[in-house]
Structure formats: C-alpha cells, structure tokens
Amino acid sequence: MSLTLTPLLGIPLIRPGDKLAPVILQALGQTGIALQDGDILVLAQKIVSKSEGRLVNLSGISPSERARELALQTEKDPRLIEVVLSESKEVLRTRPGTIIVEHRRGFVCANAGIDHSNVSGAGPEAEEWVLLLPENPDQSAQNLRRELEEVAHVRLGVMIIDSHGRAWRLGTVGVAIGLAGLPGLVDLRGQPDLLGYTLRIPQVGAADELAAAASLVMGQASEGTPVVHVRGFPYPLREAGLPELLRPKEQDLFR
C-alpha cells in the first residue's frame, strides 16, 4: 500500500463569500495534480469557516450572567464565553484557561472550536474577531464534493478537519469534524487476523487517522497549506457523516 499526501500550493487567504471549489481546482493545477477516482481532499476547518462567513466580532457581544460566571472560572473574556455557550449543548469541564464543551454538532472540544489565531476582520476592532466552526461541516463537505465532482468527473471524498485535544493524552491532533464520500469508521469485526483468528473488537477511526496525517502535512502555524490531496486511501469510499464517529454519551467514561 502507498498513501500519498500532498499539500496544495497557492491557496490564497480566504475571505467571506469566497468559493472554495475554484480555488482548490486552481491549486491542484498549480501543484500538478489531476484528480482521479478515489482521491480525497482534506481541508482545514478555518478556510471553510472563513468562506462561510463564520466570523464574529466580540465588540458586539453582551455576555450573560452565566457567561460572566464561567469567565471568572476560566479567566477568559466573558464575551468569548458567551459565543462559546451559543455554540454548545453543554459545558462539561472548566479550569483556569480552559472550557470543555459538547459542541452543537455532538463532539467534545475546547472553546466550542472557536479560534482567534490567524483571524482578522475589518473595522477599528480588528483584533476582536473570532472564528466559529462551520454551521454544518458534513453539509459543507458534501457541497464541496459535489462541486468538485461535477468539474472533475471522478468520485471523490472530502473531509474537514480541526485540531482537538484528548482526555487521556497531551497535545492536539487533527480530527474529522465533517466528511462526505469516505468512511468515518471502518468495522473489521469478523475478519481474520494474521493467525487466522476472527477479530471481535476492531473498529478503525479511519477518518480521524487520515485527519491526523493531513494535519501533520498542513502544519499548525504559518505554513499556509490548508488543503491536502490524498491518494491511496486503503478503504473503499462510501457515503458517511460525522455521527458514526461520535461515541454515545452512555459509553463515554470521561464525562
């Protein structure tokens, strides 16, 4: 098996309203890649959110009493906490510098995925802008997949990723927050292992494995390569969405 991940060259700074499909197609040409059946495109969440206009200026936010209470616990801007609450189902943990929530889309993360790094906007309060996650990352991936397939006439997978921490290990890793056309989970139960025994447990988080690899290629700071082309994904493409990757709450031992 050969798995090749190639960061696309020439992706400009994305602004609200920009169409990502033409930008990606141009970058594929500049990088010298012609799309083939089974290829996957992995996008950093930030460019999808920017294209969808998911920017919020904190100067216009009035924090609630609940947000003020949590801001004291976390030592964060109460206006930011108010935006976090608007994007969350439930606050799970707090400590100075950290607020962990269940996002409206069902996954657990810090700050509801709201980001301030590499984010700017117009106006006198340029430093006050923050960026929210896409409204519906699965739908965003599906829409982009359709646009690219209509032009390239091949079957593709598209995945949107973000950096998340984990309850049991240090460091952030890339994880899938939206996908279309590729499996999130691959069930290997019932297949034989190397010695011929039947596998009973393994379910592979294939989308998250690929997300971590793509995140490594993208980088986390100023690299400017928010789209990665993938060829050689070892599992068949199929329809899927983020929910198949989310552990049911009753099975979550860390809540």
Lowest-pLDDT choice from 103-107, 190-194, 239-243, 249-253: 190-194
Q: How far apart are CA 81 and CA 71, in angstroms?
A: 6
Instruction: Tell me the whole-structure pTM to 2 decimals.
Output: 0.91
pLDDT interval class at 155 (50, 70, 90): very high
The arithmetic mean of pLDDT across residues 154-170, rounded, is 94
Please state which architecture CATH assigns to domain 55-131.
Answer: Alpha-Beta Complex (3.90)
The arithmetic mean of pLDDT across residues 38-60, rounded, is 96
pLDDT interval class at 204 (50, 70, 90): confident
In percent, the amount of the chain with pLDDT more than 90 equals 80
pLDDT > 70? residue 31: yes
Options 1.10.3720.10, 3.30.1330.100, 2.60.200.20, 1.10.287.130; CATH for 4-54+135-246 is 3.30.1330.100
Helix axes 78-86, 65-74, angle to 10 degrees: 120
Instruction: At 174, list the tokens.
Output: 């890339």
Q: How far apart are CA 122 and CA 128, in angstroms?
A: 10
Q: Where are the domains of the chain?
A: 4-54+135-246, 55-131
Beta bridge partners of residue 108, listed in sequence order: 102
- Tell me: the pLDDT tens digits for 114-153? 988 666 655 555 578 999 999 999 999 999 999 999 999 9
Question: What pLDDT score was predicted for residue 212?
Answer: 97
Instruction: At 147, list the tokens.
Output: 């646009």
How far is residue 7 from each of residues 119, 122, 223, 255, measured CA to CA in Å?
21, 29, 10, 36
In percent, the amount of the chain with pLDDT more than 70 equals 88
